[in-house]
Amino acid sequence: MKCYLFGNVAVTDPERFADYLEKVPAIIARHGGRYIVRGGAVYPLEGELGVRRMVMLEFESRAAAQAFYDGEDYAPLKKLRMETSESQIMFVDALGGDYVVGPDGDINGAVHKSRLPPAE
Protein backbone atom coordinates (compact mmCIF):
# COMPACT_ATOMS: atom_id res chain seq x y z
CA MET A 1 0.00 0.00 0.00
CA LYS A 2 1.42 3.38 -0.97
CA CYS A 3 2.35 5.83 1.74
CA TYR A 4 2.61 9.58 1.47
CA LEU A 5 4.81 11.90 3.46
CA PHE A 6 3.22 15.32 3.89
CA GLY A 7 5.24 18.27 5.08
CA ASN A 8 4.23 21.81 5.94
CA VAL A 9 7.46 23.78 6.03
CA ALA A 10 8.10 27.40 7.01
CA VAL A 11 11.71 28.20 6.12
CA THR A 12 13.46 30.34 8.75
CA ASP A 13 17.00 30.31 7.32
CA PRO A 14 16.78 30.33 3.49
CA GLU A 15 20.55 30.38 2.94
CA ARG A 16 21.19 27.17 4.85
CA PHE A 17 17.89 25.58 3.75
CA ALA A 18 19.11 25.85 0.13
CA ASP A 19 21.63 23.09 0.92
CA TYR A 20 18.76 20.84 2.06
CA LEU A 21 16.82 21.55 -1.15
CA GLU A 22 19.83 20.69 -3.27
CA LYS A 23 20.68 17.39 -1.58
CA VAL A 24 17.40 15.82 -0.47
CA PRO A 25 15.96 14.78 -3.89
CA ALA A 26 18.70 12.17 -4.46
CA ILE A 27 18.09 10.64 -1.03
CA ILE A 28 14.34 10.53 -1.59
CA ALA A 29 14.92 8.78 -4.93
CA ARG A 30 17.31 6.25 -3.35
CA HIS A 31 14.47 5.21 -1.05
CA GLY A 32 12.05 4.82 -3.96
CA GLY A 33 10.23 8.06 -3.20
CA ARG A 34 9.11 10.74 -5.58
CA TYR A 35 7.76 14.25 -5.29
CA ILE A 36 4.06 14.76 -5.92
CA VAL A 37 4.04 18.35 -4.60
CA ARG A 38 7.06 20.51 -3.91
CA GLY A 39 6.30 24.00 -2.70
CA GLY A 40 3.63 25.02 -5.19
CA ALA A 41 1.05 27.72 -4.49
CA VAL A 42 -1.56 26.77 -1.88
CA TYR A 43 -5.19 27.90 -2.23
CA PRO A 44 -7.02 27.27 1.07
CA LEU A 45 -10.73 26.64 0.63
CA GLU A 46 -11.94 26.14 4.19
CA GLY A 47 -10.50 27.11 7.55
CA GLU A 48 -7.14 28.45 8.64
CA LEU A 49 -4.71 25.79 7.48
CA GLY A 50 -1.48 27.48 8.49
CA VAL A 51 0.14 26.02 5.38
CA ARG A 52 3.38 27.69 4.31
CA ARG A 53 5.29 25.40 1.92
CA MET A 54 3.57 22.10 1.19
CA VAL A 55 5.56 19.02 0.26
CA MET A 56 4.09 15.63 -0.62
CA LEU A 57 6.21 12.56 -1.32
CA GLU A 58 4.98 9.17 -2.50
CA PHE A 59 6.57 5.88 -1.42
CA GLU A 60 5.58 2.33 -2.31
CA SER A 61 4.92 1.45 1.34
CA ARG A 62 5.00 2.82 4.87
CA ALA A 63 8.16 0.76 5.44
CA ALA A 64 9.88 2.52 2.53
CA ALA A 65 8.74 5.94 3.78
CA GLN A 66 9.93 5.12 7.30
CA ALA A 67 13.27 3.85 5.98
CA PHE A 68 13.75 7.20 4.24
CA TYR A 69 12.75 9.26 7.29
CA ASP A 70 14.87 7.23 9.72
CA GLY A 71 17.73 6.56 7.30
CA GLU A 72 21.34 7.35 8.08
CA ASP A 73 21.67 9.10 4.73
CA TYR A 74 18.76 11.45 5.53
CA ALA A 75 19.72 12.08 9.20
CA PRO A 76 22.08 15.03 8.55
CA LEU A 77 19.57 16.65 6.20
CA LYS A 78 16.71 16.07 8.64
CA LYS A 79 18.80 17.85 11.28
CA LEU A 80 19.49 20.69 8.84
CA ARG A 81 15.77 20.97 7.99
CA MET A 82 14.89 21.12 11.67
CA GLU A 83 17.48 23.84 12.25
CA THR A 84 16.43 25.95 9.26
CA SER A 85 12.65 25.64 9.28
CA GLU A 86 9.56 25.07 11.36
CA SER A 87 7.82 22.04 9.96
CA GLN A 88 5.08 19.53 10.55
CA ILE A 89 5.68 16.13 8.94
CA MET A 90 3.30 13.19 8.74
CA PHE A 91 2.75 9.88 6.99
CA VAL A 92 -0.60 9.12 5.38
CA ASP A 93 -1.38 5.62 4.14
CA ALA A 94 -3.23 5.37 0.86
CA LEU A 95 -5.72 2.76 -0.19
CA GLY A 96 -6.03 1.89 -3.83
CA GLY A 97 -9.20 0.60 -5.42
CA ASP A 98 -7.89 -2.93 -4.97
CA TYR A 99 -8.22 -2.74 -1.15
CA VAL A 100 -11.23 -3.14 1.10
CA VAL A 101 -11.22 -1.37 4.47
CA GLY A 102 -11.61 -3.64 7.49
CA PRO A 103 -14.99 -4.01 9.23
CA ASP A 104 -14.03 -1.44 11.88
CA GLY A 105 -13.27 1.17 9.19
CA ASP A 106 -9.59 1.26 10.12
CA ILE A 107 -7.29 1.26 7.10
CA ASN A 108 -4.78 -0.79 9.08
CA GLY A 109 -7.27 -3.61 8.74
CA ALA A 110 -7.55 -3.14 4.97
CA VAL A 111 -7.39 -6.30 2.90
CA HIS A 112 -6.38 -6.70 -0.72
CA LYS A 113 -9.37 -7.89 -2.77
CA SER A 114 -7.39 -10.95 -3.90
CA ARG A 115 -7.36 -12.15 -0.27
CA LEU A 116 -11.11 -11.89 0.28
CA PRO A 117 -13.11 -15.12 0.44
CA PRO A 118 -15.16 -15.85 -2.67
CA ALA A 119 -18.61 -14.23 -2.74
CA GLU A 120 -21.47 -16.66 -2.18
- Indicate if the alpha-carbon torsion angle 98, 104, 109, 113 is positive or negative: negative
What is residue 50's predicted lDDT score, i.e. its pLDDT? 86
Q: How far apart are CA 6 and CA 42, in angstroms?
A: 14
Task: List, for residues 25-37, the tens digit of each pLDDT value.
Answer: 999 999 999 999 9
Mean pLDDT of 75-79: 98
Task: List, for residues 97-120, the tens digit of each pLDDT value.
Answer: 666 776 666 666 666 667 777 776
What is residue 93's predicted lDDT score, i.e. its pLDDT? 86
- Domains of the chain (ranges; CATH) run 3-41+51-95 (3.30.70.100)
CB 71 within 8 A of CB 27: yes
The closest of 74, 34, 68, 40 to 54, measured between CA atoms, is 40
pTM: 0.77
